Structure formats: C-alpha cells, structure tokens
Structure 1
Amino acid sequence: MINGTVPLPHGITARPARANDRDFLAKMYRDNRDDLRMASADTDYIENLIDMQLQAQNGGYGEQFPNAIYLILEKNGTRIGRITLDIGPVELRLVDLDFIKKAQGKGFGSSILLWLMKAAAQTKKPLLVPARRDDFSMAKFLTKYGFVEDETMSDDVYARMNWFPTADEIAGLTEIKPRPAVHGSV
C-alpha cells in the first residue's frame, strides 16, 4: 500500500486516489475519448456510450484486479493524470495510465513506464502493459525497450505486452534502456 506521495520522474508525484478525485477522473476519461467521438453516430448516443464505458471500467477494475492500487498523478500540486497498478504475486501489471490533454505528449508516460520497469526489476517481476493497437507511439516505445506481445492475453483492441528484466537489471548492474526482448520468467 502507498501512503503519502511517491516521487516520479519529471517532478511528478503519485498519491492514492481519494473520493474527491472522482469528478476529475470522470472528466479526464470523457475528455480523452476522441476515438469514440469520431464514430458516425448521434452525439447523445456516443456520450451515453462513454458514460457506460466509464461505469464499466470503474466496476470492472475492482473485480478483475482486486489487488490494484489507484494513484493520482500530480505536477506542482495540480492533478494531471492517473495510474492504476496491479501488484500481483508473480507480476507487476500496468492496468491504466492516462493524462489530461494538457499533459499529453510531454514524455511523462514514457518516463513513468521506465520507472515501472525499474520497480519490476527491483521486485524481480515481469511488467505487463496493455497497448492500444491504434497507439503506434506506445507500441514503438514498448518494442524498443524489449516488450513482447503475449498473444494469449491480447485481443482486437489491446496488445498485452510483457517485459522481463535481465539478471543484470535485477541486480542493478545495468541501466534499463532499449534492448532486444528477453523471453522467459524471472
């Protein structure tokens, strides 16, 4: 469990989500669903669909990831995003990472992924990350750093990507940087 705040790269901090963060999280989710708004359908239908997906996400994460921790990302005291992590006995799983539009495209996501890779190496666990199939920059980043798709866990929307730390990364002898994928278990 995380108490207080955790320092992350780029001066970002993470803290546990609180009840008074619900409106912020809902607004960020709605604001970031441009993919659905591009559909050729009635505006009210699309907005209702977004609301239903938000409700399903809120309920589904708790059932699917009972050990998940929900963190709010802040920069200079202002909420800029969220991260949901499932810390399992065998793996560390990034369930969700999202930023407000103003904080997107600044390298925050990449630096947080590197931070998670370091945490996975320190705990001697693989890191699992969902990558939307239409997010080519995420796929490029993950592939560059040695992630491989687990097709048994993937679907049409998400590629479930796995990263296994090397023995040198676990021992802290090697910096985590781009490298070919390593298969296997830790």
Structure 2
Amino acid sequence: MIAGTVALPHGISARPARASDKDFLAKLFRDNRDDLKALDAGQDFINMTIDMQLDAQVNGYGNTFPNAIYLILEKNGSRIGRVTLDIGPVELRLIDLNFIKKAQNKGYGSGVIQWIMKAAAQTQRPLVVPTRRDNVVFLSYLLNCGFQEDASISDEVNARLVWFPTRSEMDGSAEIKPRKAASGTV
C-alpha cells in the first residue's frame, strides 16, 4: 500500500486519493468521455448517461476489485490524472489510467506504465493490462514493452495483455525497458 507520495518519471508524483479529490475525479471522467458526448441525443440525456457511467464505475471498481488502490497523479503540485491498481495475490492489474486533456500525449502514461512494471517485478507478479483494441497507440506501446495477449479471455473489443517480469528484472539486476515478450504462451 502506498502511504505517502511516490516519485514517478517525468516529474510526476502519485499519492493516495482522498475524499477531497472526488470532484476532480468526477470532472476527469466527464471530460474524457468523448464517446458519450458524441451521442446523437439531447445534452440532458448525455449528461445523465455520463453520470450513470461514473456511478457504475465507482461502484463497480469497489465491488470487483476490493484490493484496489486509487492514486492521484500530480505534476508541480497540480492534479493531472489518476491510476487505479488492483493488487491481487497472483497478479498486479492496471484497472484505469487517465489524464486531463492538457496532460495527454506528453509521454506521462508511458512513465506510469514503466513504474507499474517495476512494481510488478519487485513483487514478483505478472502485470495485467486490459485495453480496448481501438486504443491502437496504447496497445502497440504495450506490445513493444513485452506484453503478450491472453487470447483465452480477450475478445473482439478488448484485449487482455500480460507482462511477465524476467528473473533478472525481479532481482533488480536488469533494468525494466521495452523488450520482446518473455517466451511461452499466456
């Protein structure tokens, strides 16, 4: 569990979410739902749908991932995003990674992913990252970092990607960096 603030690459820090972050998290969710904003419907219906999705996400994460940790990402003291991780007995799972619009496409996400990969290696767990197939940039990035698709539970819309740390990455003798996937199948 993270008790304080942790330094991440690119001058970003992560800290546990607090009750005072609720409005920021709601705004972050609403601002990044371009898919729902594009619906051919009235603004009241779109707002209601976004609010329902937010409620479903908040309640769903709590029920589905009881061991999840919710972190706020900051840069220069300003909140720029969030990351949600589930720490299971067998695997570490990235549930959600989201940035405000101004912080997107600046390489911050790759720094956060590298940090999570290091945490997975240090705890000797595989890292699981489910992602949508239409998120081509993120999917390509993960594959280039050595993630493999677990086809047994992927589908046409979502891919479940898994990264297995090598023995040298787990013992700290090798740096975590993009590489071919570890041999074997998922």
Amino acid at match of 1:39: L
Comparing 62-71 and 131-140, the one that deviates more: 131-140
In the TM superposition, residue 171 of structure 1 has moved relative to its aligned partner by: 2.0
Amino acid at match of 1:34: D
- SS of 1:46's partner is helix
Counterpart in 2 of 1:107?
A: 107
Q: Contact conserved, 1:126 with 1:163, CA < 8 A, in 2? A: yes
In the TM superposition, residue 133 of structure 1 has moved relative to its aligned partner by: 1.7
TM-score (norm 2): 0.93
Comparing 175-184 and 103-112, the one that deviates more: 175-184
Counterpart in 1 of 2:30?
A: 30
Q: Contact conserved, 1:164 with 1:183, CA < 8 A, in 2? A: no
Distance 2:33 2:156 in 1: 18
Please list every run of 5 or more consecutive structure 2 residues that lacks an aligned counterpart in the other structure: none
Counterpart in 1 of 2:116?
A: 116
Please list every run of 5 or more consecutive structure 1 residues that lacks an aligned counterpart in the other structure: none
In the TM superposition, residue 155 of structure 1 has moved relative to its aligned partner by: 4.0
In the TM superposition, residue 83 of structure 1 has moved relative to its aligned partner by: 0.6
- Are residues 27 and 94 of structure 1, via their aligned partners in 2, closer, same or farther at CA, if it must alter by over 3 Å? same
Q: Contact conserved, 1:85 with 1:92, CA < 8 A, in 2? A: yes
Identity of aligned residues (%): 65
Counterpart in 2 of 1:174?
A: 174
In the TM superposition, residue 153 of structure 1 has moved relative to its aligned partner by: 3.1
- Where in structure 2 are the equivalents of 1:12-27 lying within 5 Å? 12-27=12-27
Runs (4+) off by over 3 Å: none
TM-score (norm 1): 0.93
Q: Deviations over 1:77-98 (max 9, x none)?
A: 1111011111111111111110
In the TM superposition, residue 152 of structure 1 has moved relative to its aligned partner by: 3.2
Counterpart in 2 of 1:90?
A: 90
Q: Deviations over 1:30-53 (max 9, x none)?
A: 000112222323332222111111
Comparing 34-43 and 164-173, the one that deviates more: 34-43
Counterpart in 2 of 1:47?
A: 47
- Where in structure 2 are the equivalents of 1:50-65 lying within 5 Å? 50-65=50-65
- SS of 1:182's partner is coil
In the TM superposition, residue 184 of structure 1 has moved relative to its aligned partner by: 5.4
Amino acid at match of 2:49: L
- Where in structure 2 are the equivalents of 1:146-157 lying within 5 Å? 146-157=146-157
Amino acid at match of 1:20: S
* Number of residue equivalences: 185
C-alpha RMSD of the superposition: 1.5
Distance 1:50 1:146 in 2: 34
- SS of 1:28's partner is helix
- Are residues 120 and 178 of structure 1, via their aligned partners in 2, closer, same or farther at CA, if it must alter by over 3 Å? same
Distance 2:91 2:134 in 1: 25
